[in-house]
């Protein structure tokens, strides 16, 4: 199985939030984790907003190590066109559309991991199996 993890899922690995234990359990259950290139920006922004400076620094370092083991979907022209179409069809926010577009580039046989209820609904409407929310 391939697991596409959006930012809401990956963030729980570094920030103690509701469902963090469940997210980590799901993240370690699959040897092939995939995410979009924009996740790096989105996750680091959230770390800076949610954590104290010292905790954000250590979480950012841990994330930098983990990025090396992730498969990254680049936000090339085709991915962005697909994300724009998905945004028009589903009404999801821009970053969510980019996640869905990146995941769709890989097909619909993967599992989409998110803890964002709106993102989960949109992913299901696109034919993805959803874990998390």
Q: What is the pTM (predicted TM-score) of this model?
A: 0.93
pLDDT confidence band for 72 (50 / 70 / 90): very high
CB neighbours of 81 closer than 8 A, spacing ≥ 6? Answer: 101
Cα-based distances in Å from 126 to 23, 76, 80, 90, 111: 22, 20, 16, 9, 12
Residue 1 has pLDDT above 80, yes or no: no
CATH number of the domain where residue 20 is located: 3.40.50.1010
- Domain span at residue 125 reads 3-132
- Write the pLDDT tens digit of every residue in 92-103: 999 999 999 999
Q: Give the span between the Cα atoms of 130 and 12, in whole angstroms.
A: 17
Count of domains forming the chain? 1
* Mean of pLDDT over the chain: 95
């Amino acid at each position: 199985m391939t697991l596409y993890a959006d930012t809401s899922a990956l963030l729980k690995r570094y920030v103690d939030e509701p469902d963090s234990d469940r997210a980590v359990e799901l993240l370690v259950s699959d040897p092939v984790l995939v995410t979009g290139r924009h996740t790096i920006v989105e996750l680091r922004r959230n770390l800076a907003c949610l954590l104290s400076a010292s905790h954000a620094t250590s979480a950012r370092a841990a994330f930098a190590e983990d990025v090396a083991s992730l498969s990254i979907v680049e936000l090339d022209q085709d991915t962005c066109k697909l994300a724009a179409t998905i945004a028009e069809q589903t009404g999801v926010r821009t970053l969510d559309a980019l996640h869905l577009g990146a995941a769709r580039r890989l097909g619909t046989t993967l599992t989409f991991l998110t803890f964002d209820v709106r993102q989960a609904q949109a992913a299901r409407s696109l034919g993805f199996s959803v874990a998390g929310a």
